[in-house]
Amino acid sequence: LADMPTAFMAMYGSGKPVVGILAEYDALPGLSQKPALTYKEAVNPGAPGHGCGHNLFGAGSVAAALAIKSVMEKQKLPGTIKLFGCPAEEIVVGKVYMTKEGVFDGLDACFSWHPGDKNRAHIGITLAMNNFEVVFRGKTAHGAADPWNGRSALDAVELMNVSVNFLREHVKPTVRIHYVIGDGGKAPNIVPDYARVWYFVRDVDRAGVEDVYKRVLKCAEGAALMTDTTMEVNLITGVYEYLSNHTLSAVLDRNLRETGVPKFTAEDQAFAKEMQKYLNIPEDGLSVDIELFEEPKTVSGGSTDIADVSWNVPTAGELGIAAVPLNVPAHSWAVASCSASTIGFKAMITGAKVLAASVIEVLMDKKIVKKAREEFEEKTEGFIYKSAVPAGKKPPFPEKD
């Protein structure tokens, strides 16, 4: 699906309304963790782990889809449900390329959920983002005997990074810029002829991202000029900010309050507090509250490829279900530990129930679909979606064997 061997779409039913459910299942590098421990201990050091709970996300979405199918059969409900398997969310790739290929076209509503530390129906935005690499190429030489004959690609990477760090003073407070050096050479006594740096640039909207992105590329061009190297840019993906549909998000909020939060035991709370103690954060345990249904006072610092879906079809804000102790760092070993624990499993079942109940409500009430569409049309009036990914570009996936 969309040139990605690990993407899929499963469908049941026929006719209108057509409702989509999103599933994610990718892990994070270096976050291998033994399950249900309050301390850090890898299964296989350096290996991937579910530090964002996408194992729960994917399975919970499948469970919701199966529950909806069962109700549709028994109640003879009209409509179509589509379950979308979406790979590589962590680098905001999967749904961007799926959207570009029209995979989500025709949906009347789209829903998703995500494990977190709070219970809520989100209606805030996430940041727009560009994900790109810059490769510098130079000329090798002996690092001590004749370095004057070399042209260091690593020097270019470092000078680019220094330039970008000076740039931070001159961008808006909403901007986020972060990078890692993917390849900086092989040995100190060889002037590197190849070096690669991987960047994320974020802001509250696409226009802001594009502006800062251009300035970061000027830093790269300057670094290449200073080091007598060449450079090339690979824009891997780019996403929009999230456009939450409040009508659909209200359906999630209503069903979350009807279903209730995960039923955590005293043992679950003790586990959570022990983990918080290990992490040196307040020992507040697991959330048993439901957050107010309102616009957040701050913008999320993260990004998601669901955002591109949201600019094409009416899309609820993500449903958040408490699956980790309060204030546990995202993308961490602690999340991976909880994601394979009874705490995570309880959150997954709750998320599946709320998701299923919400979709069933939409299938049974055409007024919700109409209102969601009207809200979507009003918010996107005059907007023409254009993918940040260039036409013809394929997703960065290895060829299928």
Encode pLDDT of 340-352 as tens digits.
Answer: 999 999 999 999 9
- pLDDT tens-digit profile of 81-92? 999 999 999 999
Measured CA to CA in angstroms, residue 24 lies from 117, 235, 292, 329, 338 at distances of 18, 23, 26, 20, 17
Structural domains of the chain ordered from first start: 8-125+241-379 (3.40.630.10), 128-239 (3.30.70.360)
- pLDDT tens-digit profile of 11-65? 999 999 999 999 999 999 999 999 999 999 999 999 999 999 999 999 999 999 9
144 is written with which tokens? 């001590």
Among 255, 285, 289, residue whose Cα is nearest residue 362: 255
Distance CA(359)–CA(318), nearest Å, equals 13
Q: What is the mean pLDDT of residues 365-386?
A: 98
Q: What is the mean pLDDT of residues 175-185?
A: 98
Q: Is the pLDDT of residue 246 over 50?
A: yes
Among 367, 290, 279, residue whose Cα is nearest residue 325: 279
- pLDDT tens-digit profile of 249-278? 999 999 999 999 999 999 999 999 999 999
Check residue 401 and give its pLDDT: 46
Strand order in the sheet with 176-183: 176-183, 194-203, 128-137, 230-239
Predicted TM-score (pTM) of this structure: 0.94
- Whether the link from the prior residue into 17 is cis, omega within 30° of 0, is yes
Report the 3 state secondary structure along the chain. CCCCCCCEEEEEEECCCEEEEEEECCCECCCCCCCCCCCCCCCCCCCCECCCCHHHHHHHHHHHHHHHHHHHHHHCCCEEEEEEEECCHHHCCHHHHHHHCCCCCCCCEEECEEEECCEEECCCCCCEEEEEEEEEECECCECCCCHHHCECHHHHHHHHHHHHHHHHHHCCCCCEEEEEEEECCCCCCECCCEEEEEEEEEECCHHHHHHHHHHHHHHHHHHHHHHCCEEEEEEEEEECCCCCCHHHHHHHHHHHHHHCCCCCCHHHHHHHHHHHHHHCCCCCCCCCCECCCCCCCCCCCCCCCHHHHHCCCCECCCEEEECCCCCCCCCCHHHHHHHCCHHHHHHHHHHHHHHHHHHHHHHHCHHHHHHHHHHHHHHCCCCCCCCCCCCCCCCCCCCCC
Query: What's the whole-number average pLDDT of the chain?
Result: 97
Contacts with 207 (C-beta within 8 Å, 6 or more apart), sequence order = none
Residue 124's pLDDT band (boundaries 50, 70, 90)? confident
Q: What is the mean pLDDT of residues 361-370?
A: 98
Q: What is the mean pLDDT of residues 7-14?
A: 98
Distance CA(271)–CA(265), nearest Å, equals 10
Contacts with 281 (C-beta within 8 Å, 6 or more apart), sequence order = 327, 328
Check residue 399 and give its pLDDT: 57
Residue 120's pLDDT band (boundaries 50, 70, 90)? very high
Q: Is the pLDDT of residue 400 over 80?
A: no
| Triad 175, 316, 116: Cα angle to 5° | 65
Residue with tokens 């059969």, as numbered in its chain = 73
Residue 300's pLDDT band (boundaries 50, 70, 90)? confident
